[in-house]
Amino acid sequence: MSAAPLKTTPLADMHRAAGARMVDFGGWDMPVAYGSQIEEHHAVRTDAGMFDVSHMLNVDVTGDGATRFLRKLIANDVAKLAAPGRALYSCMLNPQGGVIDDLIVYFFTPDRWRVVVNAGTADKDIAWMKRVAQATDANVTITPRRDLAMIAVQGPQARARVFAVRPDWAAASEPLKPFSAAVIDADTLVARTGYTGEDGFEIVLPADQAVTLWNDLAAEGVRPCGLGARDTLRLEAGMNLYGQDMDELVHPGEAGLTWTVSLKDADRDFIGRQAIEQFPAPAAFVGLKLQSRGVMRAHMTVQTPQGPGEVTSGTMSPTLGVSIAFARVPAGVKAGDTVTVDIRGTAVPAVVCATTFVRHGKAVEAS
């Protein structure tokens, strides 16, 4: 049986024309780099870079029961969102407390919301959302929006570059605080969010307008960047990747995501709550900095005084010049401890630290 053809974003032809190296990313034909991945990484840390993230799926959740439905569906509490355009990050859990996906939810009105889900989990996410809506008899309509594209513009100069090419967006989007968005028109959303640890925007717009915006930003000096730089940037910034750092067998607490779970309202019976409350996380989620040469990678064994653990994500940090990683280790391992990582049969020392290594272009002191 032949493999299914890869899905493409509205910018796929442009990526190829620009000489991008393309890879299969969860069934999508995506650029991993346009040349030097390291240069792309540094462009985001020092200036401005842009990413095609149109493989991610925007999902509109509308109807009189939308708020109640989302309070049941996800672990964070959307009732926190009162101002139009405000957003929050959360996990969507199964009844066992495992992470089905991590996502961002935007509030517009009590009967109109938007959820942005990961590309590789989009189909199962939609199926799960519809199943929950049916089981709870929620009065909601769930609408996947594959007619939309999404471009992330990130870096200390990102917002200025966006305003330079779309000055008419500035009035609505310049005052935005982090984790908030401005609706420019019916299908254009400018959100002050990102996956790099830098300032910037994630812009949702009609698919047929994506190429023009990309070209305009490139002409303004914004550097096209691929998935390779996005991965090193997000890891430096302490941001998890679904499928590596968490999945349906991992509780939020085992992935450093306890802060995305809201237990404040005792009457809110969200899916997975009972499992989380009855079975506290047996493992800790920590950062590691390698103390010698080598590069930590996912699935490498970590030896600690409390027992073995495992690297979930690892890379060479372009900003710090050392290898960094996330690891799931036994409870009791704490910042400042020295552990060893098995790198091709050699036990290499690493120091335990916080999972955020770089923020706004600067190294975060280990803690």
Residues 321 and 253 in one domain: no
- The domain that holds 334 is classified in CATH as 2.40.30.110
Asked if residue 71 and residue 81 are part of one domain, the reply reads yes
Long-range own/partner contacts, residues 343-347 (CB < 8 A, 24 or more apart): 343/294, 343/295, 343/296, 343/300, 346/294, 347/303
Q: pLDDT at position 244, please?
A: 97
Q: What is the CATH number of the domain that holds 229?
A: 3.30.1360.120
pLDDT grade for 279, boundaries at 50, 70 and 90: confident
Q: In terms of domains, do 73 and 134 share one?
A: yes
Tokens representing residue 207 in the block:
């698919």
User: Do both 212 and 332 map to the same domain?
Assistant: no
Residues 286 and 147 in one domain: no
Residues 53-66 pLDDT 10s: 999 999 999 999 99
* 273 and 322 together in one domain: no
pLDDT digits (tens, 9 = 90+) for 320-362: 999 999 999 999 999 999 999 999 999 999 999 999 999 888 8
**Helix ranges restricted to H, the chain:** 12-17, 37-46, 66-73, 122-135, 158-165, 170-173, 210-219, 227-236, 273-278
Q: Is the pLDDT of residue 266 over 70?
A: yes
Domain boundary among the residues 233, 250, 280 is at: 280
Same domain, 224 and 303: no
Residues 36 and 174 reside in one and the same domain: yes
Q: Quick one: 142 and 128 in the same domain?
A: yes
pLDDT tier for residue 367 given thresholds of 50, 70 and 90? very low
Contact 95/80 with Cβ under 8 angstroms? Answer: no
SS3 state of residue 128:
helix
Domain boundary among 221, 253, 280: 280
The pair phi, psi for residue 362, each rounded to 5°, is: -115, 145
Nearest to 192 by CA among 173, 209, 211: 173
Q: Which of 226, 255, 280 is the last residue of a domain?
A: 280
pTM of the model: 0.96
265 lies in the same domain as 340: no
Task: Please give the residue range of the domain that contains residue 325.
Answer: 282-363
Count of structural domains, the chain: 2
On whether both 301 and 359 belong to a single domain, the answer is yes
Give the pLDDT score at 192: 98
For residues 310 and 255, state if they share a domain.
no
